[in-house]
Amino acid sequence: MMNENRNRKTGNTIPILDAGAGTVREVVPIVKTDEEWQAALTPEQYDIARKEGTEYAFTGKYHNEKEHGIYRCACCGTDLFLSDKKFDSGTGWPSFSDPVSPLNIRTVMDSSQAMVRTEVRCARCGAHLGHVFDDGPLPSGTRYCMNLAALDLTGKQT
């Protein structure tokens, strides 16, 4: 497709929260071809983040992770979730009550697999992250059910 690089050329930016600094920055969306993503990611990351795969329950690399930090997009490094918003939903997939900011994700209706669900994507690069449900704990009431292969845990909070 000849339009793949349109965002890069026009310089359109989107606001993204830098969770470490606590400030909103204007950044250029990350647009890459399938071939570029395949070269940049592990096969598992590519399958889940770019091809909307779902990892098997209880296999996520951070399933029992007790470290504190920021979960970032494995594709582009955008801050997505804080470890202190992570909770055990009993589903086998890591769940978060809130993203670091609504700016950093976008949601898309997903009617695949005979269900209507709300898919969660990285706002900056469009990576498939998981789904969001409305049965989470209060006060947010939301449950972000994530594939950990799409996330990198970095930047310990102290």
Q: Which tokens hold the place of 4?
A: 């793949």
The nearer residue to Zn ion, 34 or 135, going by C-beta atoms, is: 34
Report the nearest approach of Zn ion to the CB of residue 94 (Å). Answer: 17
Q: Is-contact 76 125, C-beta < 8 A?
A: yes
Displacement of CA 43 from its chain's centroid (Å): 17
The nearer residue to Zn ion, 73 or 146, going by C-beta atoms, is: 73
The count of other CB atoms within 10 Å of the CB of residue 156 is 10
145 is catalytic: yes
The nearer residue to Zn ion, 124 or 139, going by C-beta atoms, is: 124
Report the nearest approach of Zn ion to the CB of residue 124 (Å). Answer: 5
Site residues (vs Zn ion, CB under 5 A): 73, 75-76, 78, 122, 124-125, 127
DSSP code string of 11-25: T--EEEEETTTTEEE
Q: Which are the catalytic amino acids? A: 145
